[in-house]
Amino acid sequence: MASCRRRPRSRCLIISPRARSRWCAWAMRVTPTLTPTSSSRTGPARRFLSRWPPGFRGGTSRLPRHSRPIRSTPMPELAEVEVARRNVERWWQHRCAREVRLIDPKVLRDATPRELEDALGRRLVAMHRRGKYLWAELEGGFALMFHFRMTGKITCEDSPEPRFARLAWRIDEAGWLVFKDPRRLGHVEVLGPGELDHYDALQRMGPEPEDATAAGLKAACSARRLLKSALLDQSVVAGVGNIAISELFWRLKLPVEVRCGELDDAQWEALAKEMPRYFDQILQRSMADEIAYLNEAGGDNIFEVYGREGEPCPRCQAPLKVARVAGRSSYYCPTCQGEP
Ligand SMILES: [Zn+2]
């Protein structure tokens, strides 16, 4: 933390070192950092009915602090984020928001409500996904980055404030696009022109599974490292998560604690080939208007071994087991993959 540049003698502190403005929250509140861009917008006049709660603090009390206990809630993985990308692009099309409602201001990261409203007032150019990151590219070089964390999702609704809604924006002909998040761990970032080019996580990210090669994977992994840890590292390959690893290891009959140096060239080839095939299949099974996370009500388990401890292995019928590897649950078949 550093002192506020505008009020150096005050006790105000910059609330976030990552904030685009180096001013404190007080300064940002009285002096919006963006100039109005209405002249750059096209289309009929828009009518915003933004409802900023007083002091940007209200509106959260009706959201439950704790949702029901969730057993080992998986993070959204590549396929779920890709489903969201396709849905949101289809709903949003190339329009701008007519109304914006910030229901829970804490969903905003390093941005003011004014900046959010300004960004959503711009036309959507395209929705993009890279690994597990999803962002909306907007006119004028702006972008909205969505972080779903554990339970976040975007749905299309008739009303702006369904249960767990944190942010909603209305799109003509589609309805309300609502960022819902029961556990309130997700957030939305507003990025100005050029900021995406310097977005650390995207800069460091490895190839998408469909672009990963056996040689590239092998070169990116040190021999003594657990293969699971290496694949969870987004700089090795993008978007692979804990669920995908259980499924891939089972498909390839790899022991859950196998180290990178123990794989032969044929196994690296098989891994590089199986990853895109796995994600394609999961994507086909996951396509729906709403992402259903595995442990939420109505969420089906579409996986072959993940979350199926005690159930028969689909290949050899031996009861599946679960072990903790690299700090995360690994589901495996003791007969097909061996015991750790
Ligand atoms: Zn088996």
Q: Would you state the structure tokens that stand for residue 132, as one six-digit string?
A: 């597990």
Per-residue pLDDT tens for 77-100?
Answer: 788 889 899 999 999 999 999 999
pLDDT < 50: residue spans in the chain? 1-73
In whole angstroms, give the CA distance from residue 281 to residue 71.
25
Q: Are 212 and 178 in contact (CB under 8 A)?
A: no
Q: How far is the CA of 307 from the centre of ligand 1 (A)?
A: 15
H helix count then E strand count, the chain: 9, 11
**pLDDT at residue 294, as a whole number:** 58
Q: How far is the CA of 335 from the centre of ligand 1 (A)?
A: 5
* C-alpha closest to that of 338 among 224, 253, 275, 264: 253
As annotated, the residues of the chain forming the CATH 3.20.190.10 domain(s) are 46-57+73-203
Q: How far is the CA of 336 from the centre of ligand 1 (A)?
A: 4
46-57+73-203 CATH: 3.20.190.10
Q: How far is the CA of 308 from the centre of ligand 1 (A)?
A: 12
* C-alpha closest to that of 34 among 91, 117, 95, 96: 117
* C-alpha closest to that of 152 among 192, 109, 117: 109
Distances (CA, A) of 158 to 42, 107, 230: 25, 21, 43
As annotated, the residues of the chain forming the CATH 1.10.8.50 domain(s) are 209-337
Active site residue ranges: 76-77, 132, 328
* C-alpha closest to that of 108 among 163, 159, 147, 81: 147
Per DSSP (E only), the strands in the chain are 99-102, 108-109, 124-130, 133-138, 143-147, 153-157, 165-171, 175-180, 187-191, 321-325, 328-332
Per-residue pLDDT tens for 147-203?
Answer: 988 888 999 999 998 999 999 999 999 999 999 999 899 999 999 999 999 999 999
CA 327 vs. chain centroid, Å, equals 21
Q: How far is the CA of 249 from the centre of ligand 1 (A)?
A: 11
**Is this prediction's pTM over 0.85?**
no
The length of the chain, given as a count of residues: 340
CATH of 209-337 among 3.30.830.10, 1.10.10.60, 1.10.357.10, 1.10.8.50? 1.10.8.50
**pLDDT at residue 74, as a whole number:** 53
Q: How far is the CA of 317 from the centre of ligand 1 (A)?
A: 6
Q: How far is the CA of 255 from the centre of ligand 1 (A)?
A: 12
